[in-house]
Structures are given as C-alpha cells and as structure tokens.
A and B are shown apart, each in its own frame.
Chain A
C-alpha cells in the first residue's frame, strides 16, 4: 500500500496548506512589503525602504503606545490569572468533599460558573459601550452616581491621565476572567482526585492544597493562559477605541499600537500603518517565544 500513502497524505495536507498560504502567509508577506513603501491605496505603492520605521522610532506617540503594551503585558495576565485561579479553585476544590466523596466547589458554584462566563458572551464593543456608562464622569455614571450620592465622587476614570489606562485594564480583566475560570476549571478537573485525598490525609489545608497540588499540576494550562493573555495585551483595540476619550486619549495616555494603525489607515497612510503592524508582529512573536522558553518545565504525565 506504500504507493497509495503519499497521495493520501498530500490530499489531506494540500487544502489546509493552500488555505494557510493564501490567507496567512501571503497577507503577511504583503504587509511586510507595504511597510517598506508609501502607499495611499489609490495608486501603486512607492518604495521608501526603512523610512516608515525611522519615522516610527522618532514618533513620541508610537513609543507611548509601546509603553502601554508593556504595562498591559504585565498587568493583564497577572490580574486575570490571579483572579481566575482563585475563582476556579473556589468553584472546584475549595468546598470540601461532597457526598459522593468527590471534591466540590463552594455552595452555589454552578450558578457562579455561569455568571462568570457572561462577559465572555458579550461582543467586545458592547462591553466598551457598557463601561462608557459605568465610568461616566457625572452622576449618570454607574459608579460616579453612587459615589456622588454619598458625597465621595466623582472619580474621573477615563479623564485622569494616570488613571485612564488602569480603568481600561480593569475592563480587559473583567472581560477575560470568565474564560480563564472555565479553562482552569477544566484543568483542575484533570487532576486525579487521589492526589488531593493523599494530601488531605497528610493534613494539608486549602491553601497548601492550592499551592502544593493545584498550581504545579496546572502549570501547562497556566502557561497557555499567559501566552494568550500576553497576545491579547498586544491587541486591546476594540476596548481602547470605543471606550477611551479622544481616540486613545486623554492626550494619547491610553493609546495602543492597533489604535494608531487604525488612525493611519483612516488617513490612508497604509505604509506607516503596515510598518506598525510589522513591529507589532515582532513584538508578539518575541513575547510568545520568550514566554514559552522561560516557563518551560517538565510537565507531569498522569499515568
């Protein structure tokens, strides 16, 4: 049957490879090319070499955006994973042993599990519009309305230059947590019960269980989560674009590279936009490679 094997393999591979080349590799290649040109989209691109990149590296706004990605890169995974782990632990393990001898979550955990997932169901622009109302600086805002009525407000979430980015990070975390609760719950369900039982017999409390059993055995899942969230930190376009004032303001204090790319596209300066896209590509790849390398550990196989 040897002669039939290659056509078989090729037959399976050809379609996906072709799709990948046409839909992924080719656009990437074109973006790299466009980033080396000046192009308005109306006529043929003009080759300018690395001019666009030089321009970017001299641009304060671009560096502001890069710095914001740096903040996002640390804060978004850290907060999201911490909160999601806590919730997942509470939902799955922390409730002690149920009647059937299996570990279970705290009372009402089935209900919470659904609630945590709600933000994930909403489209991101809808979340941004919702939070426009939550953060609104006058008494019609959800938070400031409450604060004003007890005389504590208002807090200018999206207006104060040093608070605006954190307000946006808050939304990103709120939006992401639900998904990671589910992801970590699935990971925790994979951890064999006997390990917990053994640890409990040895007298481990909830906290010890979490740090000595759950966390190490969940390492692979955490690593995946970290890479996902890191990549998400290089995006943040929809939330910033819809929620921030003055397109990444105040005074560009919340802007991110995708928002700047969008601005340049609106001005039909596609070369510059593509150059930013290329920078973003390398930033993302570097991050993913670094994370996977740094967090590499021997993974645990359940036999």
Chain B
C-alpha cells in the first residue's frame, strides 16, 4: 500500500486539499462565543485590536491547528508557523494535531458544533469544500485579507499574495479558503534522457507527434498516465489543451456547468488529438497501473512523457534515481493562447472554522502564515513555492520546480485554471471514467464529450447540489 500517501499527496494539491485545524477547546473561557453563522459577527472571542493583533483576537485564547500529514508533512507547521504565532502571542495556546484522514477525524467535531479553529483540509479523505461552504462552516477571510500584512504593515495582506490567489479560494465571490502553495501543471520528462538522446521538448502539436514517433522507434513508451488511479491527470491535459485552443472561456463554461460546455468544438478537438496519442503512443497495460507504478517506469526511462502537477518531483524524491531530472513542458498546443500557456493554480487549502470557539485566532494564525517569514519557512522545509509574493525569491529550487516556475513566468498572461473537480466530485468521477475509455480506445472524442456533458447537465438540474459560479 505504499501508494496511499502518494494518492493523498496528489490529491492534496487539488482543491480538496488541506485542513489544518487550530481548534480551540478553550471552552471554559468564552464558551458563549460559538457562532452559528459564517463569520463577520463580533461574538467571536474578540480581544482588543492592536498593531500586533489587528484582527482583535483574544490574546490568551487557544487555537487548534489541524494539519494534513501528507506530502508536505506537518513539520512546516510545528517548526515554523506555530512558533511564529506563540512568539507573537506568548499567552496564546496552540494545540497541534496532524491527521491523514481529515474528514474521518473532523466531521464529528463539526457535527457537534465544536470544530477546530484552523484546518488544512487536504488529502483523499478531505472534507468536501462544497458541503462546508453550503453549510456556512467557513469563516469569511475578507477581514484578514484587508488587514495589514505582518512583514509590511503598509500593505494589506491581499496585496502581498500572488494574483489570483484570492479568486481560487472564493466561492460565489466570497473568499473562504486559502490555497497556499503555488502549483503549475504540465507534462514531465527526464531532462537528462532527452539531452542524451538529442530530443527537445516540442512546442507545437506536430512536433510533439513527430517526437513521439522517434521516441517509440527508440524503444521507449512515448506517453503514459496511470489509468488505475490518476485518470484526472489526463482530463486535465485534454482540458488545458482545449483552453489553449479556444481560450480560457472554454474552462469557465465547464466550471459553470453551462450547456454544451464539454461538447464545445475546442474541447472535442483536443480530446480527439489526445485520443490519437492514446491509440498510437501509449501502452495499453498502463490503464491497469497505479500512479506510483507508472512513475517507477518513467524513472527507469521506460516512459518519456507523463502529465502531472509540479508536486511530482517532491513526491518522488525518495525514489528518483541519480540520472533523472524532472522537467516540465507545457501542453504542446497553441491557438487563442500561446504555446507557453499553462494551467496554474494555488493548491493545498486552509480554512478557518466559522463556528469554532476562537475564529479570530484562526485568522491571525493565517495572517502569520502569510507573512514573508511564514512563506520562506514553508518553502525551506517542503521545497515548494507559496503564494506569498517574494517568499521564494532566490531560493534554489530543485530542477523540476525551477522548470515549472520558469514555465509559469514564460506563460505570462496565458495562465488558465479550472475548478469543476473540486466543486462537483461526481463530474470528476465521470470525466475520469470517460477519459480512460477515450485514451484506451473504447470510445471516440464525440462520445467522450457527450457522455460527460450528460453528467454535467444532470448535476446542473439537480437542486440538491450546491452550485458555484466562477
């Protein structure tokens, strides 16, 4: 079962990511403070607002922090963020907890009305953000985003974040989740292998198809993904391609469950292009393999290209052989967007529980986490860039993350993102199943699009499912 942590690891960068829980059973003190609405009211265990404490939390309150112990571990919280917090507020109490099954451990606390203050909601067993939002469990982060930043009091917190961060964590325009880790998606290859063989990463579709032919002739499987548990990597590539062909509105339509969003010509064209790769350049056995098994093959140079996000390098760190250098290539398609366009997002979600005893303590913890020191500390430990501007400047990232950061810079304005998988898990499931059918040759692009559209329409018509508008 060695893949379990990895599954969680991958999932953690998806929207359903992180829950770190600063729950405060500081029950006795301000028991009356538990609120029943989504933040913004003043009955939240408030203290006096000062420069050090602009959110006015109670300085001797307790903050329960729950961190998902997956790919990033929980060291960054224990060794960086929590000490920062207690240094600033020596009388406050932090209760740290790490968990690999956030939902299992925390859902009962939410149901009982005693949720932890600060949660890193991540991993395969993360709580469903859509449900949390529709139940009003998440604290509105507006006040925090408008508070002065820790390292530069002249700026608001929101001005110290990578553009787009707030939007990613907003539901119907309300910022409720902090996605902390900057993430770039693309197609990965071994830079050393390519150099040895004289291959160069293609920037056009024709060059990609031609290179795949050369790679196949050299006895290497040109393209692979793991059908058994990572099919969403492949729909991600198909949709990124569609957005590069037809512009980011293509993805917006999909996220908003619009009619004919999946049967849009650009989406179908992209699916057809990838289906051709599937029939010519993939190994049929990979449908039955898991992510770790296919990664092993790539590490052994039996597979050339593999789609994933830039957490891959850190995830594989222990198993990567010396002669292997992860490099990212953007999906080699251009149209409305340039060939350098990528899907990038902020991943690893953190939230403050609106109904916890000390939500302002949770907000303050988040503010400390978003300081330059907090961001730098995180990057030092987990080797991943955060959404804190400037916090990873000059940091020597390993080659894979360097290449993804370079790709993000090169993409300029051509950066797209999508959210439907976090909002509507059923649709993600359907897209995964259909994508395996498509890529391993059982259905064509039309049938693929029609099938997923049918599911999207069903969800759009289902009044019991909370909808989100982008």
Contact = CB atoms under 8 A, between A and B. Distances in A.
Q: Could you tell me the dominant secondary structure of chain A's interface residues?
A: loop
B107 interface: yes
Contacts, number: 92
A249 B228 CA distance: 8
A302 to B, nearest CB: 49
Interface in B248-299: 283-290, 293
Contacts of A40: 128, 131, 134-135
Nearest to A272: B464
Contacts of B229: 245-246
A263 B429 contact: yes
A135, A263, A268 — most chain B CB neighbours (10 Å): A268
Given A136-B289, A137-B288, A245-B288, A268 B131 contact: yes
Contact of A42 (B132, B285, B432, B442): B132
A125 B3 CA distance: 14
Contacts of B426: 267
A52 to B, nearest CB: 9
A241 to B, nearest CB: 12
A220 interface: no
Contact of B285 (A41, A156, A250): A156
Contacts of A156: 284-285, 287-288
B284 A267 contact: no
B318 interface: no
Contacts of A149: none
A246 B111 contact: no
B433 A136 contact: no
A158 B433 CA distance: 14
Nearest to A144: B285
Contacts of B434: 251
Contacts of A267: 128, 131, 425-426
Interface in A26-48: 38, 40-43, 48
Contacts of B283: 138
B433 A251 contact: yes
A13 B290 CA distance: 52
A137 B429 contact: no
Contacts of A256: none
Given A38-B464, A246-B231, A267-B128, A138 B285 contact: yes
A166 to B, nearest CB: 15
Contacts of A42: 107, 110-111, 131-132, 135, 137
A177 to B, nearest CB: 25
B300 to A, nearest CB: 11
A159 interface: yes
Among B1, B134, B231, B433, max chain A CB count under 10 A is at: B433
Contacts of A105: none
A170 interface: no
Contacts of B436: 245-246, 249-251
A129 interface: yes
Nearest to A140: B293
Nearest to A158: B288
A107 to B, nearest CB: 40
B125 interface: yes
Nearest to A43: B135
A129 B288 contact: no
B287 A137 contact: yes
Interface centre among B229, B287, B434 (most CB of A within 10 A): B287
B437 interface: yes
Contacts of B429: 247, 263
B338 to A, nearest CB: 34
A159 B287 contact: yes
Given A157-B288, A245-B436, A251-B437, 16 more contacts: A40-B135, A41-B111, A42-B132, A138-B283, A156-B284, A156-B288, A159-B288, A159-B440, A161-B442, A246-B231, A249-B436, A250-B433, A250-B436, A266-B103, A267-B425, A268-B128
Interface of A: 38, 40-43, 48, 51, 125, 129, 132, 135-138, 154, 156-159, 161, 245-247, 249-252, 263, 266-268
14 contacts: A40-B134, A42-B110, A42-B111, A132-B290, A137-B287, A138-B289, A154-B285, A156-B287, A159-B284, A245-B227, A246-B228, A250-B227, A250-B436, A268-B128
10 closest residue pairs by CB, A with B: A137-B285, A245-B228, A137-B288, A40-B131, A42-B135, A138-B285, A159-B288, A268-B131, A251-B433, A268-B128
